[in-house]
């Protein structure tokens, strides 16, 4: 996979070396408010990035595409993006924008660049994201991308002492390319 570029971002396919670069940003507890995870240890993050660098599931049935976005002018990590692409089916995506870059348009810029790349490079019928219903920032982001809410899953998960409902947002290839 090649690097992707947007106006302010250089978006690199995840490599093992990125773990060290994003580790401190991923320690911010605020990131995990609506995620069932906690900040990773350095060893766990390194192991995860080593594994993700391969780019596919162990059986080869899914592409596991992961990126780290950096500011083009400073090289500062802004966030991460992942896409799971099963052969012939809708792809799923998720992202993390590091809190110091929230509400500055970086999430939208990163997602727009990568979603466009995914639809251009892969024969996907659609892409979707599952978002905790309490995560208003992510809901606003995907809605600003033109994605439509297609499903609500009640009690999708239970973590940090609370039940989590999820919205599923989707965009078709045709709608994305027309926008």
Instruction: Report the interhelical angle of 106-121 vs 136-144 (nearest 10°).
Output: 50
3-state secondary structure of 153: strand
Report d(CA 83, CA 85) in Å as an integer.
Answer: 6
Torsion angle of alpha carbons 18, 24, 25, 27, nearest 10°? 120
Of the pLDDT bands very low, low, confident and very high (cuts 50, 70, 90), residue 99 is very high
Q: Average pLDDT of 65-72? A: 98
CA dist 115 to 19, 43, 46, 152, 174, Å? 23, 30, 26, 23, 13
24's tokens? 């401190």
| pTM, full prediction | 0.96
For 77-88, what is each residue's pLDDT tens digit?
999 999 999 998
Q: Which CATH class is domain 4-178?
A: alpha beta
For 129-167, what is each residue's pLDDT tens digit?
999 999 999 999 999 999 999 999 999 999 999 999 999
For 20-47, what is each residue's pLDDT tens digit?
999 999 999 999 999 999 999 999 999 9
Report d(CA 98, CA 80) in Å as an integer.
Answer: 8
Q: Does the pLDDT value for residue 61 go beyond 90?
A: yes
For the chain, the domains span 4-178
For the chain, where are the E strands, in sequence order?
A: 4-5, 9-13, 62-71, 77-86, 91-97, 126-132, 148-159, 162-172
Bridge-based pairing of strands 62-71 and 77-86 is: antiparallel
Report d(CA 28, CA 7) in Å as an integer.
Answer: 26
């Amino acid at each position: 996979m090649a690097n992707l570029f947007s106006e302010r971002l250089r978006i690199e396919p995840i490599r093992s070396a990125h773990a060290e670069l994003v580790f401190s940003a991923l320690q911010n507890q605020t990131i995990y408010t609506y995620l069932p995870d906690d900040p990773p240890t350095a060893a766990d993050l390194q192991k995860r990035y080593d594994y993700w660098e391969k780019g596919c599931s162990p059986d080869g049935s899914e592409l596991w595409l992961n990126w780290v976005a950096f500011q083009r002018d400073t090289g500062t990590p802004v966030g991460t993006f992942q896409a799971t692409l099963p052969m012939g089916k809708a792809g799923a995506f998720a992202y993390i924008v590091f809190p110091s870059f929230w509400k500055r348009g970086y999430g939208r810029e990163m997602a727009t660049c990568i979603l466009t790349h995914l639809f251009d490079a892969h024969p996907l019928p659609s892409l979707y994201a599952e978002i905790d219903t309490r995560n208003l920032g992510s809901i606003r982001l995907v809605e600003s991308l033109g994605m439509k809410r297609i499903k609500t899953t009640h009690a999708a998960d239970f973590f940090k002492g609370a039940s989590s409902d999820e919205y599923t947002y989707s965009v078709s290839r045709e709608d994305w390319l027309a926008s």
